[in-house]
Amino acid sequence: MKLLRWLGLAALAAAVGTAAQAQTVKIGVVLPFSGANADLGHQIDKAFDLYVKLHEKDIAPYKVDLIKRDEGPPTGAVAKTVTTELITNDKVSLVTGFVFSPSAIALAPVVTQAKTPMIIANAGTAWITNLSPYIVRLSFSMWHPAYPMGAYAHDKIGCKTVAMAYTDFPPGKDSTEAFKTGFEKAGGKIVDSIPMGSPVQVPDFTPFFQKIKDEHPDCMYVFIPSGAHAVGVMKAYGELGMRKAGIKLIGPMDLVPDNKLQDMGDAAIGTIVMGHYARDLDNPQNKAFVAEWHKAYGADSYPDFMSAAGWDTMHAIFDTIKKLKGNLSDGMKVVDAMKGWSTNGPRGHVMIDPATRDIVEDEHAMEIYREKNGKLGEKVLGTTKAVKDECKVLKLGRCGT
Amino acid sequence: MTAALQVESLNRSFGALRVARDIDLALERGARRALIGPNGAGKTTLINLITGVLAPSSGRVLLDGADITTTSQAERARRGLARTFQINQLFRGLTVLENLCMTIGERDGNCNNLWRPAGAKRAVIDEALGHLDALRLTDDALKLVRELPYGRQRLVEIAIALTQKPRVLLLDEPAAGVPSSESHLILDVVARLDPDIAILIIEHDMDVVMRFAKEITVLVQGAVLTQGTPAEIMADEQVRAVYLGQEGHKVRHG
Amino acid sequence: MPQFANIAVSILFDGLAYAMFLFIVSVGLSVTMGLMGFVNLAHGAFAMAGGYVVVSLTRNLGLGLIPSLIISAIVVGAVSVFFERGLYRRLYKATDLEQVMMTIGLAFMAIATATYFYGPIPKSVPLPQWLQGDVNLGFRTFPSYRAFLIAVGAVLIAVLWYGFERTNIGAKIRAAVDNRRMAESVGINVDLLFTLTFAVGSGLAALGGGLAIQLLGLSPSFAVIYLVLFLIVVAVGGLGSLKGTLLAALVLGIFDTAGKYLFADAGGFFIYAVTVAVLLVKPAGFYGREQ
Amino acid sequence: MAANSDAIGPHRAAARERAAQYLLRRHRFTWAEALPWVIALACFFLFPGRMVFGNQLLIWLMFAVSLDLILGYAGIVTLGHAAFFGIGAYAVGLGAAKLGWTEPISGLFAAALLAALVGFISGWFLLRYRGLTLLMLTLATAIMLQEALNLRSDFSGGYDGLPGLTFKPLLGLFDYDLYGHVNYIYVLIVLAIVFNLVRRIVYSPFGQALTGIRENVRRMHAIGSPVHRRLVTVYTIAAGIAGVAGALFTQTNAYVTLSVFDFDNSAKVMIMLILGGTGRLYGAFIGTVVYMVLEDYFSKLSPTFWQFGIGLLLVVAVLFAPRGVLGLIEDAGRFLSRRKP
């Protein structure tokens, strides 16, 4: 067994060595390219590629080499295998991507042991960043949109009573928990909380919504993974004529991802979501971003909040490469370099909180409306500036540790 | 002395269709009884009832005087009641030798052993080979059953039943589907069986029946029409009317 | 009207709509499995294909939903014949395991192919005005699309019932399902029957897939994620039984809806609990032949 | 051939002996059987960077072996085998998280026992059924188990799983390393032990009886075999082994989520086994290696479309190697031996 140790050390040394001299920074990209959630992976991957394409020259003489791996199903197992091997075998300087929280959770011990930075571009379970000092998150935690939505729904939208419906997996629980916390603090009343099956299958939402319809709350807060589910929710909501029945649909931006918004039809109009990004968010960086996106991927392909986070993620990585002069051998240095990093990106002004290594971003309340050109758009009603992950602020449950 | 096998007023019906009506039948030790009757008379059904594949609606089955009406197929087999099937029921994917070794294993309870290799008991293998020898199957011992010609598969069918060391043996048309060129081989085997075994044989070929059987039971529409010695049966007018006529009819069908 | 009645009506109505979707997709699977004992795990792939054909027809060629659905069913049904002749035919005599392996393989290939042509982003189809919103049946309103779904289901049931129970071919199919050897011995060309039922079954699956877009959305993995559901319907209904499949679809659809509505926390549980309960009592399903 | 059976004494004596020797020797180890293990060790030194993958592969292999015992030998077709994998995985997961039971080897035994227990109970009820019915019953049972645990996600960790599990060093000596070297050897040793166990069972009289049940259950009843008892016994054993595989999965990943119960896992392990060849001991080896290595290769080649490759592999395999890769080899062997004088 001594031999094993020796082999291990040797390989590790080699890893460090090669990374040190390389002019090319190897970056492991782990996203769900196949399977039921493939579209989420592709939304981020397109942003990565786009950023690299447009900004390669900025980091000359250094280059980046993206090694892409399939994150597989949300089990953590596949992600853990491929990512560990990206570190041990492909000797990447850092790993990024990660749509599913289980992947990040499973990998926390690995990146800690390997001292390899893990730059999360989506996985949203709040307490992930507490699992390892090598984890940095540029996307968001479920709490970022959901918590402020609580107060906003009560004070501005006028929801006195709310029924919550969520896909029965951790992000769903987080999101509803966060909303509940904010909403009740503001004095609202939760009348029901309905789990709507696993994230794997898109269920027939009608029974759940029919129940809520019969309960007549002012508003219905829905969280679903922003894949095939989103469209289903909107259809069921429309079919049941719930808006006519006076039940407003609210939720985090996952409810109306831009790449599916145009499929949602009139049913979506009037829906109010809280989120840090929308395709027609009005800031110059975003205008440019969207324009470049359409140029690269065609007029009927839209970036969504995941793409925006992906874009900023790659931006942060590039800035770090510049800052460290291409030497990313020391994981802790990389993480330190990212602490406090900030930029004006598609999402507006974002910053990495040095204390939590989690993102700080503005959250916008946005209403879906019909644009003059007939397309559906999102109109910003109000903005909460510099929102932190409230779960960690309040030190709730695992967020406290 | 108690009969090796005793069937008392056995009944069974599928919905309205009564496939067994008050059947009484006794096999003494060493009996050689033929069960004849037109197609659909319920001959195979009777065997299924005796062996426990089917449960009777009413009536009793006794093996050496012990009531086995409700005991499982397997238990009956372990108590010495063996059968062959009209259509081969063999372990086609295994070698002939394995077919027999397994039978011995189940008979002696070796198969409860998960640890000792099956091949470790030379005695078992030798016994199996003995049975194969008796049926001239030695050369096929290592062939997969499904690779054998039907006639020889038929022999394996019987070999398995004999390997069970039964006290009562029920043979369901042992020579069925075998070209007459080979059928004599099978019937010789049947004729040479251990005189202590009580045997009930279903057979259509009257010559065979006459040669083999000491008693004959005639079954018609699930009920026993008559029983008796071959001579009596041949003489019986009813039998000629019902059965032999039917047989002629059958022959025309080929 | 009183709350509980209102709830009951909701459950029955939504359950019925859901049941129709289950029935339309599963019936073909049931008959083909009953007829040839062929385990076709690629059935969902045909449904998925149907869905995408509808997407192309409505979005790219601007056809209406109804004609698109019909065309898609026919196209997929026709195409399925090639698969049946080219691949399935070789495995009639094969073991279930081989059939499982090949058809799962086909499903995988279908998923990748669909991803290649349509991308992984879920698709949806534009609905004609009269299918949006809801219809008022006097005592309360119902979503129009679901009413439509139920109507389509009803029509199909009528047609299938007639074809199955009243036509010569239907009689042959029933005979073959009941006892294949016998059917062959009296000169029924079972292989041809199978090709026919396979095509019709795949066509229906395609139709179901097209109709499901509005319910469940459509992405490449549609080919497999609902497969278990269809198999359950087939097993509970009984292989090769039209009646059984219908009854199973109704029971499962309504129970599932009721479970989601009344006991959302244990929602996922119900459909499986029902399945186990039924199969423990009736191993061959509602109208299956006991072995 | 048949004619020869009328041959004279000495010839037949020879035939007898040949037949006897075949059964007497069949269960003995041949040199060829050392090959997989040699290869496994060789890989350890050749691909030190791939040990995490190798580790996963070995775990799946063990899972497949357990399935082969019931599917390949007893002919029990199940789509719920992941249930036992999951129970084993959660046994050690919860043990470590809630009870602080972090000693790995005793954990394996605990997992095996628990999984076997559930296997025994469920088997007792379900193994009266066959075919599609059994398929659906096993599948439904597994999913209901998953749903039940998700209902108590406060306890099971739900689909976010039980994070940050830590286990004591093996035998108090070897700690788990990032490169999965210790894990690989650990799993390999356990696999060797488990496989030897399975191999013994397969060649035992009990194992023969299982093949009998697979080949012709009616006849088994007729020769007095307690079929149900045999099936429940082997099902229990297989469940225990699957449990061990699951336990290793949790220990070597230091993590487990409810997804271990997924239907996909039951299906995947079955496909891998069929691909390699059922009822052939080493079919599980070949199937798992071929499937997972190609999956790994394809998914690196094209993270998006790799499923096409796997699908094609399966279809082609069915058309050209219907009884699995090993079946193909076996047939070739028979074909050649026929040619021999």
- Cα separation, B57 vs C290, whole angstroms: 19
Q: Is the pLDDT of residue A201 over 80?
A: no
Tokens of B175: 């020579």
- Cα separation, D298 vs D316, whole angstroms: 16
Q: Are strands B198-202 and B168-172 parallel, antiparallel or unpaired?
A: parallel
B74 → chain D, closest CA residue: D224
Please, what are the domains in chain A?
Answer: 2-140+284-357 (3.40.50.2300), 143-275+362-400 (3.40.50.2300)
Q: Is the pLDDT of residue B251 over 50?
A: no
Q: A270: phi > 0 → left, psi -120 to 50 → alpha, else beta; which?
A: left
Asked if D185 and A70 come within 8 Å (Cβ–Cβ), the reply is no
**CATH code of the domain in which C225 resides:** 1.10.3470
Profile chain C (291 residues) by mean pLDDT over runs of 10 residues.
78 92 92 84 95 94 93 96 92 86 94 92 84 77 87 94 89 84 84 89 94 88 90 92 94 91 79 92 85 52
Which residues of C are less than 8 Å from D71 in CB distance? 97
Residue C288 lies inside a defined structural domain of this protein:
no
Q: Do chains A and B touch (3 or more CB pairs under 8 A)?
A: no
Q: Is the pLDDT of residue A244 over 90?
A: no
CA atoms within 13 A on the CB side of D245: 32
Measured in angstroms, the CA of A388 and the nearest CA of chain C are apart by 30
Measured in angstroms, the CA of A401 and the nearest CA of chain D are apart by 13
- Cα separation, A117 vs B131, whole angstroms: 73
The residue among D80 and A202 whose pLDDT is bigger is D80
Asked if B142 and D18 come within 8 Å (Cβ–Cβ), the reply is yes
| pLDDT tens-place string over residues D63-92 | 999 999 999 999 999 999 999 999 999 999
| pLDDT tens-place string over residues D25-60 | 888 888 889 999 999 999 999 998 889 999 999 999
The residue among A206 and D9 whose pLDDT is bigger is A206
Using pLDDT thresholds of 50, 70 and 90, give the confidence band for residue D6. Answer: very low
| pLDDT tens-place string over residues D212-234 | 999 999 999 999 999 999 999 99
Residues D83, D261 contacting (CB under 8 angstroms): yes
Cα A117 to the center of its chain, rounded Å: 18
What are the DSSP calls for A64-88, one per residue?
EEEEEEE--STTSHHHHHHHHHHHH
C133 → chain A, closest CA residue: A239
Instruction: Give the per-residue pLDDT at D5.
Output: 43
| pLDDT tens-place string over residues A134-177 | 999 999 999 999 999 999 999 999 999 999 999 888 888 889 99
Using pLDDT thresholds of 50, 70 and 90, give the confidence band for residue A11. Answer: low
- Beta strands across the sheet bearing B198-202: B66-67, B58-63, B5-14, B17-27, B223-228, B215-220, B32-36, B198-202, B168-172, B81-83
Asked if A76 and D253 come within 8 Å (Cβ–Cβ), the reply is yes
Residues D113, D173 contacting (CB under 8 angstroms): no
For chain C, the domain total comes to 1
The residues, ordered by sequence, that sit 6+ positions from A57 with a Cβ below 8 Å of its Cβ are: none
Residue B26 lies inside a defined structural domain of this protein:
yes
| pLDDT tens-place string over residues B31-46 | 999 999 888 888 999 9
Residue C137 lies inside a defined structural domain of this protein:
no
Q: Which of A8, A34, A88 sits opposite D307 (nearest CB)?
A: A34
Residues A252, A148 contacting (CB under 8 angstroms): no
Asked if A8 and D179 come within 8 Å (Cβ–Cβ), the reply is yes
pTM to 2 decimal places? 0.91
Mean pLDDT of D96-103: 90
For chain B, the domain total comes to 1
Using pLDDT thresholds of 50, 70 and 90, give the confidence band for residue D341. Answer: very low
Residue B75 lies inside a defined structural domain of this protein:
yes
What are the DSSP calls for D58-102, one per residue?
HHHHHHHHHHIIIIIIS----S-THHHHHHHHHHHHHIIIII---
Query: In terms of Cα–Cα distance, which of B153, B149, B173, B169 is closest to B161?
Result: B169
Least confident residue range of A21-35, A86-100, B147-161, D305-319: A21-35
Mean pLDDT of D156-175: 80
Q: A348: phi > 0 → left, psi -120 to 50 → alpha, else beta; which?
A: left
Does the beta carbon of D46 lie under 8 angstroms from any beta carbon of chain A? Answer: no
The residue among D64 and A37 whose pLDDT is bigger is D64
Asked if A81 and D179 come within 8 Å (Cβ–Cβ), the reply is no
Percent of chain D with pLDDT over 90: 62
Residue C134 lies inside a defined structural domain of this protein:
no
The residue among D11 and B26 whose pLDDT is bigger is B26
Least confident residue range of A224-228, A292-296, C189-193: A224-228
Domain range for B198:
5-91+166-253
| pLDDT tens-place string over residues A247-281 | 999 999 989 988 888 888 888 999 999 999 988 88
How many residue contacts between B and D have a Cβ separation below 8 Å?
159
Asked if D12 and B139 come within 8 Å (Cβ–Cβ), the reply is yes
Which residues of C are less than 8 Å from A36 in CB distance? 219, 221, 225
* Alpha carbon distances (Å) from B195 to B184, C5, C47, D182: 19, 77, 66, 68
Q: Are strands A359-370 and A376-387 parallel, antiparallel or unpaired?
A: antiparallel
Which residues of B are less than 8 Å from D230 in CB distance? 111
Q: Is the pLDDT of residue B132 over 60?
A: yes
Instruction: Give the per-residue pLDDT at D2.
Output: 41
Does the beta carbon of D215 lie under 8 angstroms from any beta carbon of chain B? Answer: yes
Where helices occur in A206-250 by DSSP H, the ranges are: 206-215, 228-239
- Cα separation, C126 vs C121, whole angstroms: 16
Residue C133 lies inside a defined structural domain of this protein:
no
Domain range for C68:
3-124+144-281
Residue B193 lies inside a defined structural domain of this protein:
yes
Tokens of C163: 């074809």
Q: Is the pLDDT of residue D120 over 90?
A: yes
ipTM entry: 0.89
- Cα separation, C260 vs A196, whole angstroms: 8
How do the domains of chain D map onto residue ranges? 47-281
Instruction: Give the per-residue pLDDT at C136.
Output: 79
**CATH code of the domain in which B246 resides:** 3.40.50.300
Which residues of D are less than 8 Å from A198 in CB distance? 150, 159
Instruction: Give the per-residue pLDDT at B249.
Output: 44
Mean pLDDT of chain C: 89
Instruction: Give the per-residue pLDDT at D324.
Output: 81
Percent of chain A with pLDDT over 70: 95
Mean pLDDT of A327-333: 91
Does the beta carbon of D177 lie under 8 angstroms from any beta carbon of chain A? Answer: yes
